Structure 1
Amino acid sequence: MIDYILLEKYSKDINVLFVEDDEDIRKETSELLEDIFQKNITIAVDGQDGFTKYMKYHEENNKYFDLVITDICMPKIDGVELTKLIKKENIEQKLIILSAHNESEYLMELVNVGISQFILKPIEFNSFIDIIYKISKEIYHINSEESEELSSTVNLSSNLYWDKDNSQLVQDSAKIKLTKKEFLLIALLLKSPEKTYSNDEIVIHLWKDDLDKSPDISNLKNVISRLRKKVPLLNIENIYSFGYRINVIN
């Protein structure tokens, strides 16, 4: 079953180009897409119009659409040619093809071009939502990773941040001196801030080079206690009986 709360999270910032020449299908499908993608939809009435709007969007925004959804059989430029033109411009472009059953002769060619998904017409709602959910989740994580790569800092509070380029904790423009264990702990927790790391995972990571020792949860608690005293603004959250995660400011 689709988690619609997650679907909203994944899809809300995705920009979509929808290309369809049939007026009735275009109207019905665009209304559904606007509900999902919060009106971040550009509509094109044929392949030529679609490619023109695709390039115009790139020129005006210095980026491509996150997702293109296109019919196959269209005047001027069909969906196969449109797909080839778009892929020539942006090999990474996510594309969904709307296909009638009698258009199967095109499908192998489109697979070779590198489309993301097929949706058969007439569109079946549950299948359509399932595909949109999966590709929206994929685009969301790609965009999140790119944003993290572009950002050189992770904000931990209004006056505290992690300098990713130099692997350094900074508060009020001053670098905070960390012990090896404190550094390893922060770096691990910030690797995936949304994740709660188990006590065992953290202990193994912090003491992986101390083969002659047998650390346990008490050793980890001591490290965290000292770090909290050293940096009160650092919000390391204890998830009772499981482990720890670090809270960041988005």
Structure 2
Amino acid sequence: MQAEEPRIQDISILYVEDEVAIREGYARALNRISNHVMLASNGKEGLALFQEERPDIVISDIRMPVMDGIEMVQQIKEIEPECSVIFTTAYNDSEYLLHALDLQVDAYLQKPVEKNLLKYKIEKLAASILKEKIHLLQQKEIESQRVILQNVLDHEKNLLVVTDFEKVHFANKAFLDLFSVESAEAFNRMCISFLNIFSPVSPYLHRGLLAEGETFYDLVERSEETKRIVTIVANNAQPRAYQINISRIIHEARASYLCTMTDITGMNSERLSTEKKAYYDSLTGIFNRHKFNELFEIELSRVKRYSNHASVVVLDIDHFKHFNDTFGHLVGDKVLQKLAQTISRRIRTTDIFARWGGEEFVLLLPETAIHDAVKLCEMLRESIAAIRCIEADSITASFGVTELLADDTVKSAFKRADDALYAAKKAGRNRVMTVS
């Protein structure tokens, strides 16, 4: 009986796609996830296979000859209303989307479907299906259940844990091996609380982010799917990143949670590297113009919605072109880096600092009225003037400051800040000026 217990590899998948090249290409990817993949070239074939095999998950194109995906899934739902379904389509058609919503499908993915995204959706559905199968096991005698569940979990490469977020009740071999312990009991003796394994590092999830009265399950549920990531450092090894999914279950008449953690360290590093190239200035390491604009729009909407104070600062280095022409671009780059470091060390973590281009920088100061923004800029101006460079005696910067208004646009706010900067330059540079 133990050998027949469910594993993610045992989740059966029916894939229906009329285009041969696409069907064969994705079949190879699906076979790496599941040991039971069935293929059909149209809805009629797919329906016949479903009636015969009763797969756990159906993945289907929508537009197909003989019988389309919508009609096939309608008939499948009549047979098995709870069947998990993922639609793929090359057409961004609202009518199809409405049909999909009516059928309560689990995902609607635009072609070409990114294979890692498809894998993630399948694994998420599979975890839910496994949870239901595990729930059936929990109706049996507790000790027998423990043995069966342990057997299921030990076949998983993912880290699987049943916990109340303090003590671990069950853990699979992958989890126990990670911490070099033989049992859940041994882990509990070593670690006071399960949540202590998650490193308190931004932007990852950890217990320090919990609101009053909130469980870790609540924290994960309110987080965007792409942000449901934790980091674990075990046995003094390098930190590893895991995508975490949590399902609520009943264990020994009390609420417990099944935590599934998938190692995405390589994928996460690649994502962070891509994000860094897209959103950060390569010379100074601070945000670039693109990222600043994105965050500015968010803050502007907060100002309009909640009537918050927020200020915008535009600054640039005085006579930087002359400085560059005199001492060379390498020295100029060094100055830009020093200025970025100086400002970064003196602003709040909630403040947004970016290189706008060349020698020009911008600051967005949430929850900051203009008089407080001016005080900060005066302090920054003095700090910049204190920077010493071997090739040059001193560096100065001019600042233009304005406060966001309820009827502002990005263009209008920056126009005022630029006008203030121009006034600072005209008044002799190395000063802070405002425009209300």
Q: TM tier, shorter chain?
A: 0.5 to 0.7
Counterpart of 2:47 in structure 1 is 51
Q: For residues 97 and 21 of structure 1, what CA distance do their matches in structure 2 show? A: 13
Task: Judge conservation of contact 2:29–2:115 (CA < 8 Å) in 1.
Answer: no
Q: For residues 90 and 191 of structure 2, what CA distance do their matches in structure 1 show? A: 54
Counterpart of 1:195 in structure 2 is 163
**Matched ranges for 1:168-207 at <5 A:** 194-195=162-163, 198=166
Q: Does 1:32 align with 2:29?
A: yes
Q: For residues 49 and 120 of structure 1, what CA distance do their matches in structure 2 show? A: 23
TM-score calculated relative to the size of structure 2: 0.34
Q: For residues 107 and 51 of structure 1, what CA distance do their matches in structure 2 show? A: 21
Task: Judge conservation of contact 2:8–2:126 (CA < 8 Å) in 1.
Answer: yes
Counterpart of 1:127 in structure 2 is 117
Counterpart of 2:64 in structure 1 is 74
Letter in 1 for 2:144: N
> Rg larger in 1 or in 2?
2
Letter in 2 for 1:115: V
Per the TM alignment, residue 131 of structure 1 is displaced from its structure 2 partner at its CA by 1.7
Q: For residues 100 and 146 of structure 1, what CA distance do their matches in structure 2 show? A: 39
Q: Does 1:109 align with 2:99?
A: yes
Change (3 A) 1:156 1:109: closer
Please report the RMSD computed on the Cα atoms of aligned residues, expressed in angstroms: 3.1
Per the TM alignment, residue 157 of structure 1 is displaced from its structure 2 partner at its CA by 9.3
Number of aligned positions between the proteins: 162
Percent identity over paired residues: 26
Per the TM alignment, residue 26 of structure 1 is displaced from its structure 2 partner at its CA by 0.4
TM-score calculated relative to the size of structure 1: 0.56
Q: For residues 138 and 51 of structure 1, what CA distance do their matches in structure 2 show? A: 23
Q: For residues 32 and 118 of structure 1, what CA distance do their matches in structure 2 show? A: 18
Q: For residues 68 and 17 of structure 2, what CA distance do their matches in structure 1 show? A: 10
Q: Which runs of 5+ in 2 are unaligned?
A: 1-5, 148-160, 168-183, 195-251, 253-436
**Matched ranges for 1:87-98 at <5 A:** 87-98=77-88
SS at match of 2:10: coil
Q: For residues 42 and 80 of structure 1, what CA distance do their matches in structure 2 show? A: 19
Q: Does 1:154 align with 2:151?
A: no
Counterpart of 1:14 in structure 2 is 11
Task: Judge conservation of contact 2:8–2:127 (CA < 8 Å) in 1.
Answer: yes
Q: For residues 145 and 87 of structure 2, what CA distance do their matches in structure 1 show? A: 42
Letter in 2 for 1:130: Y
Per the TM alignment, residue 152 of structure 1 is displaced from its structure 2 partner at its CA by 3.9
Q: Which runs of 5+ in 1 are unaligned?
A: 1-8, 58-63, 159-192, 200-234
Change (3 A) 1:241 1:22: closer
SS at match of 1:239: helix
Letter in 2 for 1:56: E
Q: For residues 110 and 45 of structure 1, what CA distance do their matches in structure 2 show? A: 20
Task: Judge conservation of contact 1:70–1:97 (CA < 8 Å) in 2.
Answer: yes
Higher relative contact order (CA closer than 8 Å, sequence separation 6+)? 1
Q: For residues 98 and 82 of structure 1, what CA distance do their matches in structure 2 show? A: 14
Q: For residues 157 and 92 of structure 1, what CA distance do their matches in structure 2 show? A: 27
Per the TM alignment, residue 13 of structure 1 is displaced from its structure 2 partner at its CA by 1.6
Q: For residues 130 and 77 of structure 1, what CA distance do their matches in structure 2 show? A: 28
Task: Select 1:239's aligned residue among 154, 170, 189.
Answer: 189
Task: Select 2:76's aligned residue among 76, 79, 86.
Answer: 86
Letter in 2 for 1:37: S
Task: Judge conservation of contact 2:138–2:145 (CA < 8 Å) in 1.
Answer: no
Q: For residues 111 and 95 of structure 2, what CA distance do their matches in structure 1 show? A: 15
Per the TM alignment, residue 36 of structure 1 is displaced from its structure 2 partner at its CA by 1.1
